[in-house]
Amino acid sequence: MPTDVKKTLTEQLGEIMTSTIAYVDGYNLYYGLRAKYRHRYLWLDVEQLVRRLRPKDDILAIRYFTALAISNPSISAHQQNYLAALKAHSGSMLEIIYGRYQAITQTCHSCGTSWQLYEEKETDVNIAVSLVADAVTKASDLALIISADSDLCPGIRMARTLNPTRGIIAAFPPRRASKEIRTLIPGAFTIAAVDLRNSLLPTSVADPVNGTKYTSPTNPRLR
């Protein structure tokens, strides 16, 4: 339903809907899902999940934060297929904000052998910046954070300082929790299996603009 029509109906019914923006930590969510359920819920419809978590809210936007994996071509291909499916399915409702992968060289102190590891960078910073910016502009009544990364705590504190009236809720991915976040947001909760089970993308998602189809892999991989 178009936003203007929804507002008109809301005014006619005399209801006050809570406007909500969701901030999704893609990697925190992915690793939690994989740790608890392996590949069962990796082809996840993020928009549907947000709507199940906040069924009475007016969802204004979903900001999905991730970084493109560069360490493994196969994993990268699965990831890009999934992200394209998300965009094709949710359109302008879902915005993908990219961080980056950084190569780090490690050396064995005993034998001197060196090797490269890759670390995902900037996701927590990007979430915090977006959270604070939306607090300043009063972009919504409520912020829904899907993450258990305690590095978000400074951003949560600043957002609350700048806009004390804006509500903040945290939904922890499976097998992920943060005492620091729960201290700031006592109502934080863990996403239930029933909400994941009822929030899966269709096996094949077609882009409404160009018709390109994105199909769930047999064993979905990294998000």
For the segment 140-169, what is each residue's pLDDT rounded down to a tens digit? 999 999 999 999 999 999 999 999 999 999
Structure tokens at 156: 């949560």
Least confident of 21-30, 164-173, 210-219: 210-219
Count CB-CB contacts under 10 A for residue 159. 23
Count CB-CB contacts under 10 A for residue 189. 12
Query: pLDDT-derived band of residue 111, with 50, 70 and 90 as boundaries?
Result: confident
Q: Which domains are seen in the chain, by residue range?
A: 17-215 (3.40.50.1010)
Q: What's residue 219's pLDDT?
A: 54
Query: Please, which residues have CB within 8 angstroms of residue 104's CB and are 6 or more apart in sequence?
Result: 116, 117, 118, 119
**By the 8 A CB rule, do 155 and 129 touch?**
yes
The H or E element spanning position 83 is helix 73-90
Of 100 and 136, which is predicted with more confidence?
136
Cα 132 to chain centroid, rounded = 16
Structure tokens at 140: 């919504």
Q: What gap in Å lies between CA 161 and CA 190, rounded to an integer?
A: 25
Q: Give 30-72 pLDDT, tens digit per residue.
A: 999 999 999 999 999 999 999 999 999 999 999 999 998 877 7
Query: pLDDT-derived band of residue 223, with 50, 70 and 90 as boundaries?
Result: very low
Structure tokens at 31: 């690793």
Q: What is the mean pLDDT of residues 197-221?
A: 89
Q: What gap in Å lies between CA 88 and CA 209, rounded to an integer?
A: 8
Q: What is the mean pLDDT of residues 190-204?
A: 97
Average per-residue pLDDT in the chain? 88
**By the 8 A CB rule, do 79 and 222 touch?**
yes
The H or E element spanning position 25 is strand 19-25
Cα angle 191, 194, 200 (rounded to 5 degrees) comes to 90
Look up tokens 């910046």; give the residue.
Answer: 129
For the cut 70, the answer to whether the pLDDT of residue 196 exceeds it is: yes
Query: pLDDT-derived band of residue 85, with 50, 70 and 90 as boundaries?
Result: very high
For the cut 90, the answer to whether the pLDDT of residue 198 exceeds it is: yes
For the cut 80, the answer to whether the pLDDT of residue 221 exceeds it is: no
**By the 8 A CB rule, do 168 and 152 touch?**
no
Q: What's residue 9's pLDDT?
A: 46
Inter-helix orientation angle 123-136/153-162, to 10°: 10
